[in-house]
Structure 1
Amino acid sequence: MGTTTCLREALQHTHDELCERLVSARATIDRPEISRRGCPPIDLFLSGTSKHLHAVDQVILPRVRHMCGDGSQLVHDYLGSEKELEVVLAHVKAHEFGSAYETAFDWDAVWGDVEEAIDQQWAQECRLVEQLGEDLSDDRLEEITAEFAAAEERAPSRPHPFLPHTGPGGWVARRVMRIADAFWDTVEGRFVPEPRRQERKRPGLLGQYLMADPRFDEEPEEAVEASPAEGERTVPS
Protein backbone atom coordinates (compact mmCIF):
# COMPACT_ATOMS: atom_id res chain seq x y z
CA MET A 1 0.00 0.00 0.00
CA GLY A 2 1.34 3.44 -0.92
CA THR A 3 0.76 6.80 0.67
CA THR A 4 -0.30 8.54 -2.59
CA THR A 5 1.33 11.69 -1.22
CA CYS A 6 3.41 12.48 -4.31
CA LEU A 7 0.61 11.78 -6.79
CA ARG A 8 -2.07 13.49 -4.72
CA GLU A 9 0.03 16.62 -4.20
CA ALA A 10 0.91 16.83 -7.90
CA LEU A 11 -2.72 16.58 -8.96
CA GLN A 12 -3.84 18.97 -6.22
CA HIS A 13 -1.29 21.53 -7.41
CA THR A 14 -2.62 21.26 -10.97
CA HIS A 15 -6.22 21.52 -9.79
CA ASP A 16 -5.46 24.65 -7.74
CA GLU A 17 -3.68 26.21 -10.72
CA LEU A 18 -6.64 25.47 -13.00
CA CYS A 19 -9.03 27.03 -10.49
CA GLU A 20 -6.90 30.18 -10.45
CA ARG A 21 -6.98 30.27 -14.24
CA LEU A 22 -10.75 29.87 -14.13
CA VAL A 23 -11.05 32.91 -11.86
CA SER A 24 -8.86 34.97 -14.23
CA ALA A 25 -10.80 33.80 -17.29
CA ARG A 26 -14.15 34.59 -15.75
CA ALA A 27 -12.99 38.08 -14.70
CA THR A 28 -12.23 39.09 -18.29
CA ILE A 29 -15.84 38.68 -19.44
CA ASP A 30 -17.03 41.79 -17.64
CA ARG A 31 -14.49 43.99 -19.42
CA PRO A 32 -15.97 45.00 -22.80
CA GLU A 33 -12.75 46.67 -23.95
CA ILE A 34 -11.09 43.24 -24.15
CA SER A 35 -11.85 41.14 -27.20
CA ARG A 36 -12.93 37.62 -26.40
CA ARG A 37 -11.38 36.30 -29.58
CA GLY A 38 -8.07 34.74 -28.64
CA CYS A 39 -8.34 35.92 -25.02
CA PRO A 40 -5.19 34.65 -23.22
CA PRO A 41 -6.81 33.98 -19.80
CA ILE A 42 -9.55 31.87 -21.39
CA ASP A 43 -7.08 30.10 -23.65
CA LEU A 44 -4.83 29.29 -20.69
CA PHE A 45 -7.71 27.79 -18.74
CA LEU A 46 -9.03 25.76 -21.66
CA SER A 47 -5.65 24.42 -22.77
CA GLY A 48 -4.49 23.61 -19.23
CA THR A 49 -7.71 21.82 -18.33
CA SER A 50 -7.80 19.88 -21.60
CA LYS A 51 -4.19 18.75 -21.23
CA HIS A 52 -4.88 17.61 -17.69
CA LEU A 53 -7.92 15.58 -18.71
CA HIS A 54 -6.07 13.90 -21.58
CA ALA A 55 -3.19 13.02 -19.24
CA VAL A 56 -5.63 11.39 -16.81
CA ASP A 57 -6.99 9.30 -19.70
CA GLN A 58 -3.50 8.26 -20.76
CA VAL A 59 -1.80 7.57 -17.43
CA ILE A 60 -4.30 7.19 -14.58
CA LEU A 61 -7.25 5.33 -16.11
CA PRO A 62 -5.30 2.30 -17.46
CA ARG A 63 -3.69 1.74 -14.05
CA VAL A 64 -6.98 1.98 -12.22
CA ARG A 65 -8.75 -0.35 -14.66
CA HIS A 66 -6.09 -3.09 -14.62
CA MET A 67 -4.47 -2.78 -11.18
CA CYS A 68 -7.27 -1.78 -8.80
CA GLY A 69 -10.22 -3.62 -7.40
CA ASP A 70 -13.49 -2.54 -9.01
CA GLY A 71 -11.36 -0.46 -11.38
CA SER A 72 -13.74 -0.78 -14.31
CA GLN A 73 -16.59 0.82 -12.37
CA LEU A 74 -14.35 3.63 -11.13
CA VAL A 75 -13.22 4.37 -14.69
CA HIS A 76 -16.82 4.28 -15.93
CA ASP A 77 -17.91 6.80 -13.28
CA TYR A 78 -14.98 9.07 -14.02
CA LEU A 79 -15.53 9.08 -17.78
CA GLY A 80 -19.10 10.29 -17.27
CA SER A 81 -17.98 13.31 -15.26
CA GLU A 82 -15.09 13.98 -17.62
CA LYS A 83 -17.34 14.03 -20.68
CA GLU A 84 -19.68 16.54 -19.01
CA LEU A 85 -16.73 18.83 -18.29
CA GLU A 86 -15.36 18.51 -21.82
CA VAL A 87 -18.74 19.40 -23.31
CA VAL A 88 -18.90 22.53 -21.15
CA LEU A 89 -15.34 23.46 -22.12
CA ALA A 90 -16.36 23.19 -25.77
CA HIS A 91 -19.16 25.67 -25.05
CA VAL A 92 -16.61 28.06 -23.53
CA LYS A 93 -14.45 27.78 -26.65
CA ALA A 94 -17.47 28.48 -28.87
CA HIS A 95 -18.44 31.48 -26.72
CA GLU A 96 -14.93 32.89 -26.89
CA PHE A 97 -14.93 32.85 -30.68
CA GLY A 98 -18.48 34.16 -31.04
CA SER A 99 -20.34 31.10 -32.32
CA ALA A 100 -23.89 31.88 -33.44
CA TYR A 101 -25.11 28.70 -31.73
CA GLU A 102 -24.14 30.11 -28.31
CA THR A 103 -26.33 33.21 -28.40
CA ALA A 104 -28.99 31.53 -26.25
CA PHE A 105 -26.54 31.21 -23.35
CA ASP A 106 -24.92 34.03 -21.38
CA TRP A 107 -21.44 33.90 -19.89
CA ASP A 108 -22.63 33.62 -16.28
CA ALA A 109 -24.58 30.47 -17.09
CA VAL A 110 -21.62 28.96 -18.97
CA TRP A 111 -19.13 29.64 -16.17
CA GLY A 112 -21.60 28.27 -13.63
CA ASP A 113 -21.76 25.03 -15.60
CA VAL A 114 -17.96 24.94 -15.73
CA GLU A 115 -17.62 25.27 -11.97
CA GLU A 116 -20.17 22.54 -11.33
CA ALA A 117 -18.63 20.18 -13.88
CA ILE A 118 -15.06 20.71 -12.71
CA ASP A 119 -16.06 20.01 -9.09
CA GLN A 120 -17.70 16.73 -10.10
CA GLN A 121 -14.72 15.71 -12.23
CA TRP A 122 -12.28 16.52 -9.42
CA ALA A 123 -14.27 14.42 -6.94
CA GLN A 124 -14.09 11.42 -9.30
CA GLU A 125 -10.39 12.02 -9.92
CA CYS A 126 -9.71 11.96 -6.17
CA ARG A 127 -11.46 8.58 -5.97
CA LEU A 128 -9.08 7.23 -8.60
CA VAL A 129 -6.03 8.49 -6.73
CA GLU A 130 -7.18 7.06 -3.40
CA GLN A 131 -7.75 3.66 -4.99
CA LEU A 132 -4.30 3.71 -6.56
CA GLY A 133 -2.82 4.43 -3.13
CA GLU A 134 -4.51 1.38 -1.66
CA ASP A 135 -3.28 -1.02 -4.34
CA LEU A 136 0.14 0.28 -5.48
CA SER A 137 3.49 0.86 -3.78
CA ASP A 138 5.12 4.24 -3.22
CA ASP A 139 7.75 3.56 -5.88
CA ARG A 140 5.07 2.78 -8.45
CA LEU A 141 3.13 5.90 -7.52
CA GLU A 142 6.23 8.05 -7.98
CA GLU A 143 6.71 6.57 -11.46
CA ILE A 144 3.09 7.36 -12.31
CA THR A 145 3.52 10.94 -11.05
CA ALA A 146 6.54 11.53 -13.28
CA GLU A 147 4.81 9.93 -16.28
CA PHE A 148 1.72 12.04 -15.68
CA ALA A 149 3.71 15.30 -15.70
CA ALA A 150 5.33 14.35 -19.00
CA ALA A 151 1.98 13.34 -20.51
CA GLU A 152 0.40 16.71 -19.62
CA GLU A 153 3.03 18.58 -21.64
CA ARG A 154 2.45 16.44 -24.76
CA ALA A 155 -1.35 16.18 -24.53
CA PRO A 156 -3.84 17.80 -26.94
CA SER A 157 -4.80 21.36 -26.02
CA ARG A 158 -8.54 21.10 -26.69
CA PRO A 159 -11.41 19.01 -25.30
CA HIS A 160 -12.69 16.15 -27.46
CA PRO A 161 -15.70 14.73 -25.62
CA PHE A 162 -16.94 12.52 -28.46
CA LEU A 163 -13.65 10.79 -29.32
CA PRO A 164 -12.36 7.59 -27.64
CA HIS A 165 -10.70 8.19 -24.28
CA THR A 166 -9.33 4.78 -23.35
CA GLY A 167 -7.77 1.77 -25.03
CA PRO A 168 -6.04 1.76 -28.42
CA GLY A 169 -8.67 4.11 -29.84
CA GLY A 170 -7.92 6.69 -27.17
CA TRP A 171 -4.18 6.41 -27.79
CA VAL A 172 -4.63 7.00 -31.53
CA ALA A 173 -7.07 9.87 -30.95
CA ARG A 174 -4.64 11.70 -28.65
CA ARG A 175 -1.78 11.29 -31.11
CA VAL A 176 -3.82 12.64 -34.01
CA MET A 177 -5.57 15.45 -32.14
CA ARG A 178 -2.34 16.72 -30.59
CA ILE A 179 -1.12 17.57 -34.10
CA ALA A 180 -4.52 18.89 -35.22
CA ASP A 181 -4.91 21.05 -32.10
CA ALA A 182 -1.45 22.56 -32.53
CA PHE A 183 -2.29 23.47 -36.13
CA TRP A 184 -5.61 25.15 -35.28
CA ASP A 185 -4.14 26.90 -32.26
CA THR A 186 -1.69 28.59 -34.62
CA VAL A 187 -4.37 29.43 -37.20
CA GLU A 188 -6.76 30.90 -34.64
CA GLY A 189 -4.05 32.66 -32.67
CA ARG A 190 -4.84 30.92 -29.40
CA PHE A 191 -2.47 31.42 -26.50
CA VAL A 192 -1.07 28.01 -25.51
CA PRO A 193 2.16 27.90 -23.45
CA GLU A 194 5.07 26.02 -24.94
CA PRO A 195 6.09 22.88 -23.01
CA ARG A 196 9.10 23.15 -20.75
CA ARG A 197 12.13 21.83 -22.57
CA GLN A 198 14.99 20.25 -20.67
CA GLU A 199 18.42 21.70 -21.29
CA ARG A 200 20.48 19.39 -23.45
CA LYS A 201 23.58 17.86 -21.92
CA ARG A 202 26.95 18.90 -23.26
CA PRO A 203 28.25 16.27 -25.73
CA GLY A 204 31.17 14.14 -24.59
CA LEU A 205 34.54 13.86 -26.29
CA LEU A 206 33.32 11.17 -28.70
CA GLY A 207 30.25 13.21 -29.60
CA GLN A 208 32.35 16.30 -30.23
CA TYR A 209 34.65 14.27 -32.47
CA LEU A 210 31.79 12.77 -34.51
CA MET A 211 30.14 16.19 -34.94
CA ALA A 212 33.47 17.84 -35.75
CA ASP A 213 32.61 20.41 -33.11
CA PRO A 214 35.30 20.43 -30.42
CA ARG A 215 34.52 22.51 -27.36
CA PHE A 216 37.53 23.52 -25.33
CA ASP A 217 37.41 24.59 -21.74
CA GLU A 218 37.85 28.29 -21.20
CA GLU A 219 41.47 29.11 -20.56
CA PRO A 220 42.23 31.01 -17.37
CA GLU A 221 43.02 34.62 -17.85
CA GLU A 222 46.73 35.29 -18.09
CA ALA A 223 48.23 36.98 -15.15
CA VAL A 224 48.91 40.59 -15.88
CA GLU A 225 52.39 41.67 -14.91
CA ALA A 226 52.27 44.52 -12.50
CA SER A 227 54.03 47.61 -13.84
CA PRO A 228 56.44 49.39 -11.53
CA ALA A 229 54.77 51.93 -9.34
CA GLU A 230 55.34 55.56 -10.13
CA GLY A 231 58.64 56.67 -8.73
CA GLU A 232 59.77 53.09 -7.98
CA ARG A 233 63.14 52.17 -9.34
CA THR A 234 63.82 48.84 -10.91
CA VAL A 235 66.97 47.05 -9.87
CA PRO A 236 68.80 45.42 -12.76
CA SER A 237 69.63 41.74 -12.21
Structure 2
Amino acid sequence: MSTEERTATRTLMEDSQRNLTVVENGESRRYELLLAGTTVGTLDFRVLGPRRVLGHTEITAEHRGRGLGTALIKAILDDLIAEEVRITNYCPAVERFLDGHPEYLVVLDPSHPSIQRGSKPLQHLIHIQHSRLRELAAGSEDSSIDGFDRRRIADQFTAIAAQHAAAVADVLLTAARTSSGEDAAAMLANLKEFEQSLRVLKGRAYGDARFLDLSTAETWREAERLLAEHESHEKKIVSGLEALHGADGAADLARALAKRQWSSPTRPHPNSPHAGVAGRIARHLWRIADSTWDELEGRGLPTEPVENANRHSAVSHYLFGTPDDQ
Protein backbone atom coordinates (compact mmCIF):
# COMPACT_ATOMS: atom_id res chain seq x y z
CA MET A 1 0.00 0.00 0.00
CA SER A 2 1.45 3.37 -1.01
CA THR A 3 2.04 6.37 1.23
CA GLU A 4 -0.82 8.23 -0.45
CA GLU A 5 -3.20 5.35 0.24
CA ARG A 6 -2.14 5.28 3.87
CA THR A 7 -3.01 8.92 4.41
CA ALA A 8 -6.28 8.90 2.42
CA THR A 9 -9.74 7.96 3.63
CA ARG A 10 -10.61 4.48 2.41
CA THR A 11 -13.96 2.69 2.65
CA LEU A 12 -13.75 -0.79 4.19
CA MET A 13 -17.42 -1.73 4.45
CA GLU A 14 -20.85 -0.42 3.46
CA ASP A 15 -24.08 -1.88 4.84
CA SER A 16 -27.02 -0.24 3.10
CA GLN A 17 -29.61 -2.09 5.19
CA ARG A 18 -28.25 -0.69 8.46
CA ASN A 19 -26.98 2.52 6.83
CA LEU A 20 -23.48 1.79 8.16
CA THR A 21 -20.11 2.61 6.65
CA VAL A 22 -16.64 1.81 7.98
CA VAL A 23 -13.72 3.88 6.70
CA GLU A 24 -10.01 4.04 7.39
CA ASN A 25 -8.88 7.60 8.05
CA GLY A 26 -5.16 7.40 7.37
CA GLU A 27 -4.45 11.01 8.29
CA SER A 28 -6.05 10.71 11.74
CA ARG A 29 -4.83 7.12 12.14
CA ARG A 30 -8.19 5.76 13.12
CA TYR A 31 -10.99 3.65 11.75
CA GLU A 32 -14.40 5.32 11.79
CA LEU A 33 -17.91 3.87 11.91
CA LEU A 34 -20.50 6.10 10.26
CA LEU A 35 -24.25 5.79 10.81
CA ALA A 36 -26.17 7.72 8.16
CA GLY A 37 -23.00 9.70 7.49
CA THR A 38 -22.34 10.62 11.14
CA THR A 39 -19.35 9.21 13.00
CA VAL A 40 -20.60 7.11 15.92
CA GLY A 41 -17.56 4.93 16.57
CA THR A 42 -13.77 4.92 16.22
CA LEU A 43 -10.82 2.60 16.71
CA ASP A 44 -7.34 4.14 16.94
CA PHE A 45 -4.44 2.47 15.20
CA ARG A 46 -0.76 2.94 14.56
CA VAL A 47 1.35 1.70 11.67
CA LEU A 48 4.58 -0.02 12.71
CA GLY A 49 6.37 -1.43 9.70
CA PRO A 50 4.23 -4.15 8.13
CA ARG A 51 1.79 -4.41 11.05
CA ARG A 52 -0.94 -2.41 12.72
CA VAL A 53 -1.22 -1.75 16.43
CA LEU A 54 -4.86 -1.41 17.49
CA GLY A 55 -5.51 0.92 20.39
CA HIS A 56 -8.91 1.89 21.75
CA THR A 57 -12.45 1.35 20.45
CA GLU A 58 -15.05 3.98 21.30
CA ILE A 59 -18.78 3.99 20.48
CA THR A 60 -20.80 7.09 21.34
CA ALA A 61 -22.90 6.59 24.47
CA GLU A 62 -26.27 6.87 22.76
CA HIS A 63 -25.38 4.16 20.22
CA ARG A 64 -23.99 1.50 22.53
CA GLY A 65 -25.64 -1.88 22.98
CA ARG A 66 -26.63 -2.17 19.31
CA GLY A 67 -23.75 -4.28 18.04
CA LEU A 68 -22.05 -1.36 16.32
CA GLY A 69 -18.69 -2.04 17.96
CA THR A 70 -18.79 -5.60 16.66
CA ALA A 71 -19.63 -4.36 13.16
CA LEU A 72 -16.71 -1.92 13.28
CA ILE A 73 -14.20 -4.51 14.51
CA LYS A 74 -15.35 -7.18 12.06
CA ALA A 75 -15.00 -4.83 9.09
CA ILE A 76 -11.51 -3.81 10.21
CA LEU A 77 -10.27 -7.35 10.75
CA ASP A 78 -11.82 -8.56 7.48
CA ASP A 79 -9.90 -5.86 5.63
CA LEU A 80 -6.62 -6.52 7.45
CA ILE A 81 -6.82 -10.25 6.76
CA ALA A 82 -7.59 -9.59 3.09
CA GLU A 83 -4.59 -7.24 2.91
CA GLU A 84 -2.42 -9.80 4.78
CA VAL A 85 -1.64 -7.26 7.49
CA ARG A 86 -0.98 -8.57 11.01
CA ILE A 87 -1.83 -6.77 14.23
CA THR A 88 -0.76 -6.25 17.80
CA ASN A 89 -3.90 -5.61 19.81
CA TYR A 90 -4.28 -3.48 22.94
CA CYS A 91 -8.05 -3.08 22.70
CA PRO A 92 -10.26 -5.11 25.09
CA ALA A 93 -13.20 -4.93 22.68
CA VAL A 94 -11.12 -6.47 19.90
CA GLU A 95 -9.86 -9.10 22.33
CA ARG A 96 -13.44 -10.03 23.26
CA PHE A 97 -14.32 -10.26 19.57
CA LEU A 98 -11.36 -12.59 18.95
CA ASP A 99 -12.40 -14.75 21.91
CA GLY A 100 -15.78 -15.29 20.29
CA HIS A 101 -14.50 -15.60 16.72
CA PRO A 102 -11.36 -17.77 16.77
CA GLU A 103 -11.29 -17.86 12.98
CA TYR A 104 -9.96 -14.29 13.14
CA LEU A 105 -6.96 -15.20 15.31
CA VAL A 106 -4.89 -15.50 12.13
CA VAL A 107 -4.70 -11.69 12.10
CA LEU A 108 -2.53 -11.61 15.25
CA ASP A 109 1.22 -11.15 14.83
CA PRO A 110 2.83 -13.90 16.93
CA SER A 111 6.19 -12.13 16.99
CA HIS A 112 4.63 -9.03 18.60
CA PRO A 113 2.13 -10.37 21.14
CA SER A 114 -0.80 -8.42 22.48
CA ILE A 115 -1.58 -7.71 26.11
CA GLN A 116 -3.60 -10.68 27.30
CA ARG A 117 -6.15 -10.82 30.08
CA GLY A 118 -4.83 -12.66 33.09
CA SER A 119 -1.26 -11.52 32.45
CA LYS A 120 0.43 -8.58 34.12
CA PRO A 121 -0.34 -6.01 31.44
CA LEU A 122 1.86 -3.18 32.64
CA GLN A 123 4.90 -5.41 33.01
CA HIS A 124 4.18 -6.96 29.63
CA LEU A 125 3.92 -3.59 27.90
CA ILE A 126 7.14 -2.34 29.47
CA HIS A 127 8.90 -5.54 28.47
CA ILE A 128 7.81 -5.02 24.85
CA GLN A 129 9.01 -1.41 24.81
CA HIS A 130 12.37 -2.07 26.40
CA SER A 131 12.98 -5.14 24.24
CA ARG A 132 12.46 -3.00 21.15
CA LEU A 133 14.86 -0.36 22.45
CA ARG A 134 17.52 -2.94 23.30
CA GLU A 135 17.12 -4.41 19.82
CA LEU A 136 17.74 -1.01 18.23
CA ALA A 137 20.72 -0.32 20.48
CA ALA A 138 22.24 -3.66 19.50
CA GLY A 139 21.74 -2.76 15.82
CA SER A 140 23.82 0.38 16.29
CA GLU A 141 26.87 -1.84 16.89
CA ASP A 142 26.66 -3.43 13.44
CA SER A 143 29.85 -2.35 11.68
CA SER A 144 28.44 -3.20 8.25
CA ILE A 145 25.74 -0.49 8.20
CA ASP A 146 26.35 2.85 6.51
CA GLY A 147 26.01 6.33 7.95
CA PHE A 148 22.41 6.76 6.82
CA ASP A 149 21.26 3.52 8.47
CA ARG A 150 23.20 4.38 11.61
CA ARG A 151 21.41 7.72 11.82
CA ARG A 152 18.07 6.02 11.13
CA ILE A 153 18.63 3.66 14.06
CA ALA A 154 19.52 6.60 16.30
CA ASP A 155 16.36 8.39 15.14
CA GLN A 156 14.15 5.41 15.87
CA PHE A 157 15.76 4.77 19.24
CA THR A 158 15.50 8.37 20.41
CA ALA A 159 11.92 8.74 19.14
CA ILE A 160 10.61 5.55 20.76
CA ALA A 161 12.53 6.21 23.97
CA ALA A 162 11.43 9.85 24.17
CA GLN A 163 7.79 8.94 23.60
CA HIS A 164 7.97 6.17 26.16
CA ALA A 165 9.63 8.43 28.74
CA ALA A 166 6.99 11.13 28.21
CA ALA A 167 4.15 8.62 28.54
CA VAL A 168 5.70 7.20 31.71
CA ALA A 169 5.91 10.68 33.20
CA ASP A 170 2.31 11.37 32.26
CA VAL A 171 0.71 8.08 33.33
CA LEU A 172 2.90 6.09 35.72
CA LEU A 173 4.45 8.95 37.68
CA THR A 174 1.04 10.53 38.16
CA ALA A 175 -0.38 7.24 39.41
CA ALA A 176 2.60 6.47 41.65
CA ARG A 177 3.11 9.90 43.20
CA THR A 178 0.45 9.45 45.89
CA SER A 179 1.31 5.86 46.81
CA SER A 180 5.08 5.79 46.35
CA GLY A 181 6.47 9.30 46.40
CA GLU A 182 10.13 8.35 46.91
CA ASP A 183 10.12 5.84 44.06
CA ALA A 184 8.39 8.35 41.80
CA ALA A 185 10.96 11.03 42.64
CA ALA A 186 13.84 8.65 41.90
CA MET A 187 12.36 7.68 38.54
CA LEU A 188 11.71 11.32 37.63
CA ALA A 189 15.37 12.15 38.26
CA ASN A 190 16.40 9.21 36.09
CA LEU A 191 13.96 10.24 33.35
CA LYS A 192 15.56 13.67 33.08
CA GLU A 193 19.05 12.14 32.88
CA PHE A 194 17.88 9.61 30.32
CA GLU A 195 16.25 12.29 28.17
CA GLN A 196 19.45 14.33 28.31
CA SER A 197 21.41 11.31 27.07
CA LEU A 198 18.91 10.94 24.21
CA ARG A 199 19.44 14.58 23.29
CA VAL A 200 23.20 13.99 23.16
CA LEU A 201 22.76 10.78 21.15
CA LYS A 202 20.57 12.46 18.55
CA GLY A 203 22.80 15.53 18.42
CA ARG A 204 25.89 13.39 17.86
CA ALA A 205 24.14 11.47 15.07
CA TYR A 206 23.24 14.74 13.33
CA GLY A 207 26.68 16.32 13.77
CA ASP A 208 25.78 18.84 16.48
CA ALA A 209 29.00 20.74 17.22
CA ARG A 210 28.31 20.61 20.97
CA PHE A 211 28.74 16.84 21.02
CA LEU A 212 31.41 16.16 18.41
CA ASP A 213 34.04 15.61 21.09
CA LEU A 214 32.10 12.51 22.20
CA SER A 215 32.43 9.24 20.34
CA THR A 216 29.30 7.60 18.96
CA ALA A 217 30.00 4.48 21.02
CA GLU A 218 30.30 6.60 24.17
CA THR A 219 26.93 8.28 23.62
CA TRP A 220 25.25 4.92 23.01
CA ARG A 221 26.80 3.39 26.16
CA GLU A 222 25.51 6.22 28.33
CA ALA A 223 22.02 6.02 26.83
CA GLU A 224 21.91 2.24 27.34
CA ARG A 225 23.14 2.57 30.94
CA LEU A 226 20.41 5.05 31.81
CA LEU A 227 17.82 2.99 29.93
CA ALA A 228 18.67 -0.05 32.07
CA GLU A 229 18.44 2.11 35.19
CA HIS A 230 15.11 3.48 34.00
CA GLU A 231 13.75 -0.02 33.39
CA SER A 232 14.67 -0.97 36.95
CA HIS A 233 12.83 2.06 38.37
CA GLU A 234 9.88 1.40 36.10
CA LYS A 235 9.52 -2.24 37.11
CA LYS A 236 9.56 -1.29 40.79
CA ILE A 237 6.82 1.29 40.34
CA VAL A 238 4.77 -0.99 38.10
CA SER A 239 4.87 -3.83 40.64
CA GLY A 240 3.51 -1.45 43.26
CA LEU A 241 0.79 -0.14 40.97
CA GLU A 242 -0.32 -3.64 39.98
CA ALA A 243 -0.53 -4.64 43.63
CA LEU A 244 -2.42 -1.46 44.50
CA HIS A 245 -4.91 -1.35 41.62
CA GLY A 246 -5.39 -5.03 40.83
CA ALA A 247 -5.61 -6.63 37.40
CA ASP A 248 -8.37 -4.39 36.03
CA GLY A 249 -6.76 -1.18 37.22
CA ALA A 250 -3.37 -2.25 35.89
CA ALA A 251 -4.94 -3.06 32.52
CA ASP A 252 -6.45 0.44 32.43
CA LEU A 253 -3.04 1.95 33.19
CA ALA A 254 -1.43 -0.18 30.48
CA ARG A 255 -3.94 1.01 27.90
CA ALA A 256 -3.49 4.61 29.01
CA LEU A 257 0.29 4.26 28.79
CA ALA A 258 0.16 2.75 25.30
CA LYS A 259 -2.31 5.35 24.05
CA ARG A 260 -0.43 8.29 25.60
CA GLN A 261 2.83 7.19 24.03
CA TRP A 262 1.34 7.54 20.56
CA SER A 263 0.64 11.23 21.16
CA SER A 264 3.85 12.07 23.03
CA PRO A 265 6.78 14.17 21.75
CA THR A 266 9.25 12.38 19.49
CA ARG A 267 12.23 14.27 20.93
CA PRO A 268 13.61 14.42 24.46
CA HIS A 269 12.92 17.54 26.51
CA PRO A 270 14.73 17.04 29.82
CA ASN A 271 14.42 20.66 30.93
CA SER A 272 10.66 20.93 30.42
CA PRO A 273 8.12 20.35 33.21
CA HIS A 274 7.34 16.67 33.66
CA ALA A 275 4.69 16.60 36.37
CA GLY A 276 1.15 17.84 36.72
CA VAL A 277 -0.78 20.12 34.41
CA ALA A 278 2.35 22.02 33.39
CA GLY A 279 3.97 18.79 32.24
CA ARG A 280 0.94 17.76 30.21
CA ILE A 281 0.71 21.16 28.51
CA ALA A 282 4.44 21.12 27.76
CA ARG A 283 4.23 17.65 26.20
CA HIS A 284 1.29 18.71 24.04
CA LEU A 285 3.13 21.76 22.74
CA TRP A 286 6.36 19.86 22.18
CA ARG A 287 4.48 17.20 20.22
CA ILE A 288 3.34 19.86 17.76
CA ALA A 289 6.81 21.40 17.52
CA ASP A 290 8.52 18.01 17.20
CA SER A 291 6.28 16.94 14.34
CA THR A 292 7.28 20.06 12.42
CA TRP A 293 11.00 19.55 13.01
CA ASP A 294 10.77 15.85 12.18
CA GLU A 295 9.30 16.72 8.80
CA LEU A 296 11.96 19.35 8.14
CA GLU A 297 14.78 16.98 9.05
CA GLY A 298 13.28 14.00 7.25
CA ARG A 299 13.76 11.85 10.34
CA GLY A 300 13.37 8.11 9.84
CA LEU A 301 10.82 7.53 12.58
CA PRO A 302 9.03 4.20 13.09
CA THR A 303 5.59 5.78 13.40
CA GLU A 304 5.17 6.48 9.71
CA PRO A 305 7.08 3.91 7.66
CA VAL A 306 7.36 4.88 4.01
CA GLU A 307 7.87 2.45 1.17
CA ASN A 308 10.87 3.34 -1.01
CA ALA A 309 11.56 6.35 1.19
CA ASN A 310 13.90 9.06 -0.04
CA ARG A 311 16.93 9.58 2.14
CA HIS A 312 16.40 13.31 2.29
CA SER A 313 13.48 15.51 3.24
CA ALA A 314 11.93 18.02 0.86
CA VAL A 315 13.84 20.78 2.64
CA SER A 316 17.20 19.02 2.25
CA HIS A 317 16.50 18.43 -1.46
CA TYR A 318 15.99 22.18 -1.80
CA LEU A 319 19.04 23.14 0.25
CA PHE A 320 21.44 20.69 -1.39
CA GLY A 321 19.97 20.78 -4.88
CA THR A 322 19.50 17.01 -5.04
CA PRO A 323 16.75 15.51 -7.22
CA ASP A 324 13.68 14.10 -5.50
CA ASP A 325 14.34 10.56 -6.70
CA GLN A 326 17.64 10.20 -4.84
TM-score band by shorter chain is: 0.7 to 0.9
Aligned partner (choices 12, 15, 23) of residue 138 of structure 2: 23
Assess if the C-alpha contact under 8 Å between 1:4 and 1:132 holds in 2: no
Q: Does 1:53 align with 2:165?
A: yes
Q: CA RMSD in A?
A: 2.0
Counterpart-to-counterpart distance in 1, 2:291 and 2:171: 21
Read off the aligned partner of 1:177 and give its amino acid letter. W
Q: Which has the higher strand share?
A: 2
Q: Which has the higher helix share?
A: 1
Aligned pairs, number: 188
Read off the aligned partner of 1:23 and give its amino acid letter. A
Q: What's the counterpart of residue 156 of structure 2?
A: 44
* TM-superposition CA deviations, 1:85-104 (whole Å, max 9, x none): 11111111110110112122
Distance apart, 1:193 and its partner CA: 2.8
Give the share of equivalent positions with the same residue, in percent.
26
Read off the aligned partner of 1:156 and give its amino acid letter. P
Distance apart, 1:60 and its partner CA: 0.8
Gaps of 5+ in 1: 197-237
Within 5 A, what are the aligned runs for 1:164-175?
A: 164-175=273-284
Q: Which runs of 4+ in 1 moved over 6 A?
A: none
Assess if the C-alpha contact under 8 Å between 1:26 and 1:111 holds in 2: no
Gaps of 5+ in 2: 1-117, 306-326
Q: Does 1:183 align with 2:292?
A: yes
Counterpart-to-counterpart distance in 2, 1:146 and 1:101: 38
Within 5 A, what are the aligned runs for 1:1-237?
A: 5-27=120-142, 30=143, 33-35=146-148, 39-66=151-178, 68=179, 71-194=180-303
DSSP 3-state at the match of 1:137: helix
Counterpart-to-counterpart distance in 2, 1:108 and 1:192: 21
Counterpart-to-counterpart distance in 1, 2:184 and 2:212: 35
* TM-superposition CA deviations, 1:161-209 (whole Å, max 9, x none): 000011011011010000000000000110123379xxxxxxxxxxxxx
Read off the aligned partner of 1:166 and give its amino acid letter. A
Counterpart-to-counterpart distance in 2, 1:195 and 1:128: 31
- When Rg is computed on C-alpha atoms for both structures, the one with the higher figure is 1
TM-score for the superposition, normalised by structure 2 = 0.55
Counterpart-to-counterpart distance in 2, 1:190 and 1:32: 17
TM-score for the superposition, normalised by structure 1 = 0.74
